[in-house]
Amino acid sequence: MAIAGSEHTKISQLRMAEQVAAALRNRILAGGIVDGTSLPKQDELVAEFGVSYPSVREALRILETEGFITVRRGNRGGAVVHAPDIGTAGYALGLTLQAMQVKATDLGDALAVLEPLCASRLAQRADRHRFVVPRLRELLDASERCIDDGAVFTTASREFHDALVGFETNATLRVVVKSLTSLWSVQEEAWAEAQASRGAYPSHSDCAAAHRAHARLVQAIEDGDADEAARIAQEHLSATQHWVGRSLKGGVIDAASERSRKRFRRG
């Protein structure tokens, strides 16, 4: 059965659009089009690929749906590039886990396995004294200054954890664990604000204990004691998750909230 002319034209345009989208997507992924810059104008894309304007517009729609670009309308409009990063990966992973109705405690269990591994590996880095320890000590000082500020202390503490796993040298492990750590930060910061609003936030002594655990962890990393770093990280995570888990009570991971989107946009 023959395909009607208009229908055949639509199919051809879609195929061309997919090819143009694929070419532009590959350039973005290869770094040929830098994050934050604009794609060439539609006139230029039509000339370069030898396709119609409808095909180019459909290609841009495909890339926008995938999150690779944001199309701004108007005389000063254009397509701004968003290269995928850890924030992109974390947000997508979080949405997947939420759609699967994965519990926040399940996320915590995963981190209890993976974050101590990262801490152990940091203690084995030959350059830890130059790059890792100074930054972690900066964050320790920052969190100590707000130890009596309730939820602010939680945010500062989560920055410490995010930075710790961000020093992981294996790119695959870093993307996965930092995504999970950032996702847990969303859960813990929401918990902290809720507890503070009810006057039920942990006491000064509890916060001081968490801060001391961070300090011991940094010291173990500085000393190059991989086993001790892993042990302290595991012990500290278990204690923190006990506090948070009592309030979450089997709640599903929150990845779709505005809080989550803002965190993952920071990358």
CATH number for the domain harbouring residue 181? 1.20.120.530
80: enclosing H helix or E strand: strand 78-81
Q: Which of 81, 99, 123 is the last residue of a domain?
A: 81
Note whether 121 and 152 are same-domain residues: yes
The pLDDT assigned to 224 comes to 98
- Show the domain range for 62: 5-81
pLDDT in tens, 29-78: 999 999 889 999 999 999 999 999 999 999 999 999 888 898 887 666 68
Q: Which of 60, 81, 102 is the last residue of a domain?
A: 81
Cβ partners under 8 Å of residue 267, min gap 6 = 85, 86, 87
| Number of structural domains the chain divides into | 2
Give the amino acid at 226: A
Cβ partners under 8 Å of residue 266, min gap 6 = 87
The pLDDT assigned to 8 comes to 47
Q: What CATH number does residue 63 fall under?
A: 1.10.10.10
Question: For the chain, first and last CA: distance in Å?
Answer: 51
Note whether 210 and 128 are same-domain residues: yes
Note whether 58 and 96 are same-domain residues: no
- Residues in the chain predicted with pLDDT less than 50, given as ranges, are 1-3, 8
The pLDDT assigned to 146 comes to 96
The pLDDT assigned to 263 comes to 80
Length of the chain: 267
Considering only CA atoms, give the Rg of the chain.
Answer: 23
The pLDDT assigned to 158 comes to 95
Confirm if 264 and 87 have CB atoms less than 8 A apart. yes
